[in-house]
Structure 1
Amino acid sequence: MPDTVWPGRADGVRQGGAVRRAGDPDGWWDAVYRDVPLTTQWDDGAYSGDAPGRVPSSSSSMPGMVFSMLAVLEVTGGERVLEIGTGTGWNAALLAHRLDSANVTTVEVDAATAAAARHRLARAGYAPVTVVGDGERGHPPGAPFDRVLATCSVRRVPYAWVEQCRPGGLVVAPWGPEYGGEGVVKLTVRQDGTASGTFVRSSAFMRLRGQRSVRPGSRGYLSAPWPADGATSTTSLSPEELGGWVAMFALGVQLPGVFPLVERYPDGSYTLWLHDTAVTSWATADWEPGRTEFAVVQSGPRRLWDEAERAWRWWNANGRPGFERFGLTVGPERCTVWLDAPDRPVPQAG
C-alpha cells in the first residue's frame, strides 16, 4: 500500500479523510487490514490533500471483493491472466503468487501508479509483466490469455478483451449502466467470437478512465427560469423506489444515456433529477415525507420520468430480480443485457 490512503466503507462510497503512515502508523495499519476499499489517488494524481478530492482515480479494492472476484476467475494453476488496472499491485501479486509471475500481465493507464506498483511488486519478490497503457485495448502482444480480470468498472465491455481471451476462457469484470448500479459479470468466451454469462454479485468500482462520463449540472438543462418549458404532472411512484442499487441497475439497463442527480433540502425532502447525456431532455420528481403523490416536471424529446416509470414497472412485474438473474452477451458491435436467458433481452427506452 502507498503511504497515504483514504479509507472508504464496505458499501463502496463516502471515503474518509487521509490516513498517513508517517503521522499515524497505527491508524494506517488498521486501515490497510480492514475489509474496506482504500482510495489511493484522487483526480488522476492532481490532488493530495487530507479531505477527499473530487474524483477518485485509483484504489486498493476491498479485500472481500478481491477474493470473491478471484474465486469467480477460477484459476487453479498455469492459466495466463490479463489484469486491467494494476493499482497498488496487490491483486497482481496475489495472481503471481498463485500462477507464477510469468503467467500474469497487468495493465495500468497511469504511469506513476504503474511505476510505484512495479517497485512494490519487486520488493515482494514478484515480476509480472507490467504494461503502461490503455486497459481498454488489452495487451495484444501477450494474447491469447486464459483469463481477463478487470479491477475497474465498464459500461461497455471492450471487445479487445474478448478477442484476446481464448475460446472457453473467462472475462470477469464489474459492469454497470450510465444510470447507476453495478455488478460483477462472468463471461465465457465462445468459438464464434462472442462472450456471454451471468452477473454473480453486486459491486462498486471506479470507472475505466476512458469510459468516464462528463455530466452537466441540472441547471444547465433549463432553457429558462424554473420550470422552464417543463410539463407538470403527478405520480404515485415514489422516487424512493428508484434509489436502491439493484433498482438503479434494472432501470439503467433499460434507460440508455440517462443518469440521475439528487438535490437535497434542509427539511429532508429532495428532488430527483433525470438527465440524458445528449443534453436534450430532463425530468424531476419531488419527494416529501408522508406524501403518496409526487410532483413531476419533464421536458425534451424523451419523457424521462415516463421512461423511468415504465422501466421500474417492468422490473417490478418480473419479481424485482437481483443481479443473479441478469446476464450479458458481448459481440464485436454491441453488448446485450438479458434476464434469465440470452433469448430474453431487457427492453430499452429512448
Structure 2
Amino acid sequence: MQAPPDYMDRLLAALDPEKAGDISEFVKDAVRTVPRHLFVPHVGLVDPYGREPYLIDRRTDPSAWWDAVGSVEPIVTQLDDGRTPLAAAPPSYNSSSSSSSPATVADFLNHLAPEPGMRVLDVGTGTGWTAGLLSHLAGQENVVSIEVDQAVSDEAAKNLAAAGLRPHLVVGDGAAGYPALGPYDRIHVTCGIRDIPYAWVEQCRPEAVIVLPWHPGFGASHALRLEVLGDGTAQGRVVGGAAYMMMRSQRLRPDREPEQEEDRRDYWSALDPRALDALSAGADLAISALTGLHSHVQSYPEGDGERLRMWVSDPGDARRWAIAVWRPGQTRHAVHQVGDRPVWDEVLHAYARWVELGEPHWSDFGVTVTQDGTRIWLGSPENVL
C-alpha cells in the first residue's frame, strides 16, 4: 500500500503539535527525505499517553498503521529485550526499543543543530530513523550509531539500506561511546540516562554539543543540552521534557526486602503521595539534586476504588527504600520504610527546600559534567545544589 496522500502533511504536523514554527526547515527537510514509515515494522505497539496501548499491523489494517506512523505517538518495536512478542504484550510490559514520538525526535535534532560535515555519534540506534535523519543532516559518512542489541542493530541496518543510507553502525554499550571514529562534534542520545558518562565528553571536540534524555531519578525526565568546554568539562541547561527507555547498562535493580526485620519501620504521613507525583518538573529536579533518590508510581484498583503507591529508593543500595500508599477517603497515608536511610523523610525535606528556594522552574536548572561526576546547579554553575 502506498502512503496516503496526506501522510507527509500529518507527519510534519506531528513534529511540532503545540508550538507552530519551532522546528527548523533543515529538520523538516530531513523528515521529508527520510520519513518515519521507512523505519516502522509491520507490527508495532502504539503507546499513547493516558490511553490504552494497541497493536497496529500493516498487513491486516494498513489504514490504522499509516494513521499511527503519521501521528505524534511513540510506537514500541520490542518488549523485554526481545523475549516477549509484541502481540503477546501483557497489561504491564517492559518496552526495550521503539520509534520515538516525531515531536521528541524533531525537538532533539533542533537542539543538536548538526551541520554538513560534522562528526556525529548517535547513541541508541533503535529502528535507525534518527541515524537516517542525522545522515541527511550531517552526511552518512560522518554518522556513527551505536546499539547494544545485535538484533535491533541488524533490523536498523536493513531499514537504513532500504532508505539508501549506510552510516557506520556499531554494536556495543553506548555509555562507552566509540572513540575509534571520533572525535565528535555532536552526540545524540536516544535512551534515558541517569549517570552522564564522562566518556562522551572525552570523545568530543571543544564546542561540541551533546543532547540527551536525562532521568536523574525522581519524577519526570528531562531534555538536557550540554556544550563541551575547552577545559574538558561539559555544561548546559535543561531545555524541556523527554521520556525515553533507560539505557540498559543504567537500569535500576529491582527493589528487594532487607534481611533484617529491625530495618523496617511503619508510620503515617500527612503528605498525599499523589501530590508528590503531580509536582512540577522543577520540584522533581530539586529533589533529584538534593537526594539522588529514584521514584516510581503504581496506580491500580482495590475493591470499589483505586489506590496509588509511590516507591522511593536509593539507586546505590536496593536495601534502602520506602513506599507510601494513598487510599480514597484517607487524610493520612501509610509509609513503609526499609533500611538504614530515611528516604521518604529526605524527599519531604527536599520538597520543603524547593519551596524555600522560591519554587524554581525546570528551566532554571543546569548541569556540569566533569571527570569526577555530575553537578546539578540552580541559576548559574556556581550555585550547586
Query: Is the TM-score greater than 0.5?
Result: yes
Change in Cα spacing, 1:44 to 1:148, as seen in structure 2 (3 Å) is: same
Task: Note if 1:282 corresponds to 2:282.
Answer: no
One of 251, 259, 267 as aligned partner of 1:232: 267
Contact 2:76 2:97 in 1 (8 A): yes
Task: Note if 1:74 corresponds to 2:74.
Answer: no
Displacement, 1:189?
0.4
Contact 2:79 2:86 in 1 (8 A): no
Change in Cα spacing, 1:281 to 1:80, as seen in structure 2 (3 Å) is: closer
Instruction: Give the equivalent residue in structure 2 for 1:107.
Output: 146
Displacement, 1:229?
4.0
Q: TM-score, normalised by structure 2?
A: 0.81
Counterpart amino acid of residue 232 in structure 1: Y
Matches within 5 A, 1:166-177: 166-177=205-216
Instruction: Give the equivalent residue in structure 2 for 1:61.
Output: 100
Task: Note if 1:30 corresponds to 2:78.
Answer: no
Percent identity between matched residues is: 37
- Partner Cα distance (2:264, 2:156) in 1: 52
Contact 2:45 2:86 in 1 (8 A): no
- Partner Cα distance (2:263, 2:200) in 1: 45
Change in Cα spacing, 1:106 to 1:134, as seen in structure 2 (3 Å) is: same
Contact 2:263 2:339 in 1 (8 A): no
Task: Note if 1:268 corresponds to 2:306.
Answer: yes
Counterpart amino acid of residue 76 in structure 2: T
- Partner Cα distance (2:53, 2:138) in 1: 35
Task: Note if 1:316 corresponds to 2:355.
Answer: yes
Contact 1:8 1:38 in 2 (8 A): yes
- Partner Cα distance (1:234, 1:99) in 2: 54
Deviations 1:21-45 (A, max 9, x none): 2222111111111111111111111
- Partner Cα distance (2:338, 2:146) in 1: 43
- Partner Cα distance (1:240, 1:299) in 2: 21
- Partner Cα distance (2:199, 2:353) in 1: 33
Change in Cα spacing, 1:285 to 1:80, as seen in structure 2 (3 Å) is: same
Deviations 1:206-256 (A, max 9, x none): 111111112125xx35855xx984152443x32222103624443233222
Change in Cα spacing, 1:68 to 1:15, as seen in structure 2 (3 Å) is: farther
Displacement, 1:159?
1.0
Contact 1:202 1:323 in 2 (8 A): no
Question: SS state of the match for residue 210, structure 1?
Answer: helix
Counterpart amino acid of residue 157 in structure 2: R
Instruction: Give the equivalent residue in structure 2 for 1:243.
Output: 277
Instruction: Give the equivalent residue in structure 1 for 2:87.
Output: 50
Change in Cα spacing, 1:15 to 1:326, as seen in structure 2 (3 Å) is: farther
Instruction: Give the equivalent residue in structure 1 for 2:229.
Output: 190
Q: TM-score, normalised by structure 1?
A: 0.89
Change in Cα spacing, 1:106 to 1:257, as seen in structure 2 (3 Å) is: same
Higher helix share: 2
Unaligned runs of 5+ in 2: 1-39
Change in Cα spacing, 1:273 to 1:128, as seen in structure 2 (3 Å) is: closer
Displacement, 1:101?
0.8
Contact 1:176 1:182 in 2 (8 A): yes
The two structures, once aligned, show a CA RMSD in angstroms of: 2.3
- Partner Cα distance (2:342, 2:59) in 1: 54
- Partner Cα distance (2:311, 2:190) in 1: 30
Matches within 5 A, 1:81-230: 81-216=120-255, 220-221=257-258, 229-230=264-265
Deviations 1:115-161 (A, max 9, x none): 11111111111111111111111111111110001011110111111
Counterpart amino acid of residue 252 in structure 1: S
- Partner Cα distance (1:82, 1:148) in 2: 5
Counterpart amino acid of residue 161 in structure 1: W
Contact 1:18 1:52 in 2 (8 A): no
One of 230, 251, 255 as aligned partner of 2:291: 255
How many correspondences in the alignment? 339
Counterpart amino acid of residue 23 in structure 1: T
- Partner Cα distance (1:282, 1:137) in 2: 30
Contact 2:365 2:378 in 1 (8 A): yes
